[in-house]
Amino acid sequence: MFGGHDTTASGLSWVLCNLARHPEHQERCRQEVRELLREREPEEIEWDDLAQLPFLTMCIKESLRLHPPTMGISRCCTQDIVLPDGRVIPKGVICIISIFGTHHNPSVCPDPEVYDPFCFDPENIKERPLAFIPFSAGPRNCIGQTCAMTEMKVVLALMLLRFRVLPAGEEPRRKPELILRAEGGLWLRVEPLSAGPQ
């Protein structure tokens, strides 16, 4: 529970930070949510609605790529692993896998430091299997992945209907700890939308 709380909070904070720095993406997310809830109150958002927010989902995933809450994972090899160059990682060895390094690999993502939600357009994802692993992958992946994504979608949808998020100061520097944080915290300005949800 603690890990899920802390990682989701980190993920949400970085998404808000990225949307604050990219108002065009923030506005597109807001319009997507408004269209989805056209004649309903924000509190009436339902489980099935969350699958109908493709751009918001792409923005969350791109933020998780740039700022994965968990920077790395370890795995014990259950069999010998032959690498492409012929070297072998023997069975029983514990390997450290850098999620951050994988997500910032220029051979996978040509401009790894640029926030571009369109990297997660369904057409582009097919070219990169297992290059996006903020929740790990395989049989030991995060059991709270669905819960975390759901929580982030709901919080962002409801926030964007009510507020405009703006940067407050310089771009934050990453501070890798057990969970990815920002040096000095992530500071944003939040303005209420005068017209309210439409």
- Which residues fall in the annotated binding site? 142
Residue ranges at the known binding site for heme = 142
Backbone angles phi, psi at 108, to 5 degrees: -100, -45
Structure tokens given for 124: 């582009």
User: If 0-12 CB within 10 Å is exposed, 13-18 middle and 19+ buried, where does residue 88 land?
Assistant: exposed
Task: State the residue for tokens 């309210």.
Answer: 196
One-letter identity of residue 190: V
Return the bridge partners of 164, or none. 191
**E strand or H helix at 112:** none
